[in-house]
Chains A and B, each alone.
Chain A
Amino acid sequence: MPRAVRHAKERIAKDLIAASATPLLLAILHKSPSYGYAIIQAVRDLSGGELEWSEGMLYPVLHRLEEQGLIEAYEQIGETGRKRRYYRLRPDGRKALQEERRQWDIVTTALAKAIKHA
C-alpha cells in the first residue's frame, strides 16, 4: 500500500482537522460552557477517538474565536479549587455556528453524492 494512503488511513488529515475546528468548538460550546481540557475530551468522545487535536494549539484557536467576538471567557473555581477559565458562546457565535452548519451540510451532501456516483 502506498505510504500516503497508509498514512491517510491511520490519521485524519491536518487540513481537515483545522477546517473542522471552529464548527466543532462552536457546537461544543453551544451545548454548554466548557474549558480547554474538557473540550479536548468532548472532541475525542464525539469522534470516537479518531480526531486527535494538538492540545497546546487548542488555546490559540479559542483565543482567536474570542478575538472575533464569537465566544467569551470567564473565570470560575474548578473542582480542584483553582481558578479556571471557561468559555461560552456569544450571540455572534450562535449565528456563526448556523452558517458553519449550512456550509458543512452543503459540503457533506455534495461529497456523499460524489462518492455514491464514483
Chain B
Amino acid sequence: MTDSSDDKNGEGDPTSDASGEEVIATYKRELVAEAELARGDLDEIEDHLRVLASELRDRGMPRIEATLEACRRLGEPRAVAREHARVRSPFGARLTKLRAYSAVALIMPILIQAAHGVAAGSGLLSRSGMELALSMVLVVALAARVTWARPIVLAGMICFSLEILLGVNAGVAHPLWLVPYVGTVMFVMPWRRSELTASGLALALQVWSYAGASFALNFAITTHGRADWRPVSYGAVVAFFTTVIATTGGVLRARWGAVAGLVSAVALVAAVGEFAMLPYYFPLHFQIPAMALLGSGALAAAISAMLSWREARSLFGTLRYVLQ
C-alpha cells in the first residue's frame, strides 16, 4: 500500500508507468465529462484509485492491470460522477463554463431592454424594474455558475418564450424576439437524466407559476393603462410577490418557501377565477392560452410547494446553498 510497491510489477518500466497514469487520467476525464466535480472530490477519487491499484500490485498484479482493475472496482465513471453531482449540487448538475457564459450572452439583450424600459420612464418600482432586478441577479448567478440559477433561468425562459408566442399569435410581437429566449433554453436545458434534482424541479415549477402571475399582472396593467390592479387584481398581485418569495425560500431550502408557494398557488387560482369573470370579450385564440398559462401556473405552484416542503432543510433554511 505504500509507494515502495510501485517498484514491483512494472518497476522501472516507463511505458507501464505512463500507461497507469494514462488510465487514471482517462478515468478522471470521463468523470469530468459527465459532471463538473470539485477539485477535492476528484483528488479523493484519484487517491482511492492509487491506493487500490497499489494494493493490487502488492498482490502480484501487473501495474497496468492493477490500475484497470482499480478503475473497474470504483465503478463506471459516468455513474459515479452523476451520484457526486446529485449530492454536491443541490439543485442539479452545474453548467459547464461554455454553456453558462453562452446563456449569459443571450440574456444580456433582454436585460438591456428591461433597463431601457426602466430608463424610459417606468421607474425601478414597476414590473420592468422588478424584471430588471431579477434578471440582473440571474445573470450574475449564471455567470458564477451557482446551481440554483439553472432551473430558474430554464423555466423562466420557457415561460417567456410561450408568452412571446402568444404575442406573436396576437400580432403584437415579432417572432425574432424569441431568439434569445429559445437560445438560452437550449444552453441551460438538462439534456441528461438526473441533471435536475427535486429541489431544482421545485424552483423551476415555482418560476413557471411566476410567469403565470407576471402575465396576469401585466394583463391587468395594460388593460387599464395604469396600475390600479383591476380586474385581474388581487390574485395576480399576491401571486406575483409570493412566487418571488417562494423562489427565494426554495434557494434557501426553507419551509417558509413552501408556505409562500402554497399561497401563490391559491392566489393564481383566484386570478384564474377573476380572469374567467372578465366582462370583456377576448378571442378564443388569446383566452385559451392565457387561461392555460394561469391554470398551469397554479398547478406548478402547488406541486412546487409540496416538493419544497419535502426538500426543505429547516424552517428558516440555510445560506450554504446560495453559493453552491
Contact = CB atoms under 8 A, between A and B. Distances in A.
A110 to B, nearest CB: 28
B79 A63 contact: no
A49 interface: no
B50 A60 contact: no
Given A37-B52, A67-B87, A80-B3, A59 B45 contact: yes
B84 A63 contact: yes
Contacts of B88: 63
Tell me if B's interface is mostly helix, strand, loop or mixed.
Answer: helix
Interface in A33-84: 35-37, 54-57, 59-60, 63-64, 67, 75, 78-84
A79 B1 contact: yes
Interface string B33-70: 00000001101110110111010000000000000000
Contacts of A85: 40, 43-44, 47
Contacts of B109: none
A104 B110 CA distance: 56
Contacts of B1: 79
B80 interface: yes
Contacts of A54: 75
A2 to B, nearest CB: 29
Interface string A10-31: 0000000000000000000000
Interface residues of A, number: 21
Interface in B62-114: 73-77, 79-80, 83-84, 86-88, 90
Contacts of B15: none
A67 B67 CA distance: 31
Contact of A60 (B2, B51, B74, B87): B87
B44 A80 contact: no
Interface residues of B, number: 27
B17 to A, nearest CB: 16
A105 B52 CA distance: 34
Nearest to B38: A63
A80 B74 contact: no
A101 B44 CA distance: 29
Given A54-B75, A55-B73, A84 B83 contact: no
B44 A57 contact: no
Contact of B47 (A56, A57, A67, A82): A82
B59 to A, nearest CB: 14
B172 to A, nearest CB: 47
A67 to B, nearest CB: 7
Contact of B44 (A36, A67, A79, A81): A36
Contacts of A36: 44, 47-48
B3 A81 contact: yes
A55 B87 contact: no
Contacts of B84: 59-60, 63
Contacts of B83: 56-57, 59-60
Given A37-B51, A63-B87, A80-B51, A56 B45 contact: yes
Contacts of A37: 47-48, 51-52
27 contacts: A36-B44, A36-B47, A37-B51, A54-B75, A55-B48, A55-B74, A55-B75, A56-B76, A56-B80, A57-B83, A59-B44, A59-B48, A60-B80, A60-B84, A60-B86, A60-B87, A63-B87, A67-B90, A75-B40, A79-B2, A80-B3, A80-B50, A81-B3, A83-B43, A84-B47, A85-B44, A85-B47
Interface of B: 1-3, 40-41, 43-45, 47-48, 50-52, 54, 73-77, 79-80, 83-84, 86-88, 90
